[in-house]
Chains A and B, each alone.
Chain A
Amino acid sequence: MQPIILENVIKNYLLDKIQVPALKGIDLKIDAGEFTVIAGPSGSGKTTILNLIGCVDTASAGKVVVGGKETGTLSEKQLTDLRLHTIGFIFQSFNLIPVLNVIDNVEFPLLLQNTLSPKERRERVLKFVDRVGLTQYAHHRPSELSGGQRQRVAIARALVTRPQIVLADEPTANLDSVTGQNIIDLMKEINQTEKTTFLFSTHDHSIMNQARRVIRLHDGKIQANA
């Protein structure tokens, strides 16, 4: 599995014709199987980095390599495909499809991939629903679940395609600390058993302390890379 590589990455946003620098030259390498936190004060560029690695945005300058591909050279369509096959997303607000139940939500990326047979698909989905402890709630809609349960669904959805990388922007921000800790534990466990790379941002110091590696951002630059 290929590492994530950022070389001298610069990202500027254009706000009312004024260039707002968000990342001012980032060099970073994240190896396969890491469990890494991006930390830093508000506005330091955490989300921006995750957007670039997540292939939902491209850098203004520099090189971003994800899944062995330089994202700046890819078309919109290819970026979408790269996201589908190599990246799993976990969102701060869970972002489940409200009209689909747990099973259908988890199954969705597999339907987009359209590589497994219906039987394999079903087995895979049930396995991951079980993995996040929601077998009992398999047929519930998101509105019938608690925040923690929703984030578990989101984790199952992010993992069901067996992506190389799982990205999460403040996955625990909308959860109480106990539930948040459970979610982090679950992610850690999966990181160890499945060897999936986890990269997530957080404000929470107690969570930072559990990460094997913390990348500290300040004002668009890496301050500490431990």
Chain B
Amino acid sequence: MNVYFIIAYRNILQRRMRSLVLAVAIVVVSLVFSLLLALVQGVKNTMIGNGTALMTGHLNIAGFFKLSQSSANPMVTKYEPLLEYAKTQIPEADIIVDRIKAYGKVISETDSVIIPMWGVNMDQESNVLGRLEIDKDANGKVLGDLFQLKDRGTMALFAVHAKKLKVSIGDMVTVSIPTQRNINNTKDLKIVAILKDVGMMSQFNAYMHSADAREIYQSKADSTGQVMIYLKDISTLKTVEARLRNDLSSKGYRLMDKDSAPFWMKFDRVAGESWTGQKIDITTWEDETSFLKWIISLLSALTFILTIVLSIIIAMGLINALWMSVKERTTEIGTLRAIGMQKSKVLWMFMLESLILSVSSTAVGLILAAIICQTLNAIALPIQNEAFKLFLMTNTLHFAFGLPQALITFMSLVTFFTLGSLIPARQAAKLSPIIAINQS
């Protein structure tokens, strides 16, 4: 075995207590970092999982129709050729559905809420909306059946809205929606299912029959809200999106500029523009859920701040320990220099010490993190705090610990600690060989 490695390794063993404390500290920071990364990824996964069931395809052909300059209707008129295009020209697609968009008030006897709503065709939705969980009441009774949305005059609400409106299955609500001609059309709908909340996203969705939505808007059967395309492999998203843009624009469709926002945040802007007629808006799941991006950003920021603070503290400990090691070993280093070891080798010998410590401890931290993630995912730890549920967009804690999380943790920590160890290692390399001879 390489003698530098042996010296470094044995010196670590020699200073057992100091090394152990450092190793434990590095294990902890590697564990914390990778767990947080896994949590962020878990939230991201839940977000895309829920988001793509609730309000968006991986890729959407959406848009606005403007009857007059000041109007803005979130719809795609004459959508059949577009649907046909999606079905025949996008081989990457797995599922294709279309939904009507609505935005208005849901009124009960006691209260009302303003929410974006979807007119759905349940025949298409079994693998999309059908994935959502139905809420249970206090006695464990399942609150309705989502597939009753196949019947006209029905509505499914999330628990958060049902609670606010004080309605349950079988109750009637009135949906009131402002239409193109700036009058409010209303329709009475029966609640057939209460959906279990999925954090913040539940606040922005409710569902009715697509024909009811068309009726309220008095729109024709050849118009829809958006064609939602689900890909077999989400990594093809960017290429498919680019192709879609190209194809539609060469077919003569007018495309809206890319604007990463959900449709209900685009009304004002579109209403302020002077064009009329139909424009197509091609959006991705990221655009449609971008109003929740801040949660991911905040979580990521917290992860990095916490990790950086911890890492700096530990790097200081590591630097200090190596510094002490250099002090204790001045004669030894001087001797090595005297008998012909180059400065660069001395530097390497000390870096190796920190490398061995950080590589092995980070690896242990990662193994622990993998075990902890597996265990916690298996017990599906329920989140008790309502605010956390809202914030993390899930009811049970979910960690997604994979190769990217492990690699990010490993690379960044090992690099950071190795760079830190350069400071004392350079100090060691600077020592003069004279000290080996002059000490007595």
Contacts and interface: CB of A to CB of B under 8 A. Distances in A.
A109 B340 contact: yes
Interface string A178-207: 000000000000000000000000000000
A95 B331 contact: yes
Interface string A85-120: 100110111010111100010011101110000000
B338 A89 contact: yes
Given A57-B434, A92-B440, A97 B336 contact: yes
Given A84-B339, A95-B331, A157-B339, A56 B432 contact: yes
A80 B342 contact: yes
Interface stretch (A2-10, A27-35, A46-54, A211-219): A46-54
B56 to A, nearest CB: 61
Nearest to A107: B3
A158 B438 CA distance: 18
B433 interface: yes
A115 to B, nearest CB: 12
Interface stretch (B5-13, B203-211, B371-379): B5-13
Interface of B: 3, 6-7, 10-11, 14, 331-332, 334-343, 345, 432-434, 436-440
A83 B436 CA distance: 14
A56 B10 contact: no
Contacts, number: 86
A173 interface: yes
B331 A93 contact: yes
Determine the main DSSP class of A at the interface with B: helix
A70 interface: no
Given A83-B338, A104-B3, A91 B10 contact: no
Given A83-B339, A93-B331, A107-B3, 15 more contacts: A47-B437, A51-B434, A51-B437, A56-B337, A56-B437, A77-B343, A80-B341, A83-B340, A89-B436, A89-B437, A108-B339, A112-B345, A157-B339, A170-B440, A173-B440
Contacts of A54: 338, 437
Contact of A108 (B3, B437, B440): B3
A81 interface: yes
A99 B436 contact: no
A109 B339 contact: yes
B343 A76 contact: yes
Contacts of B336: 97, 108
A183 B14 CA distance: 30
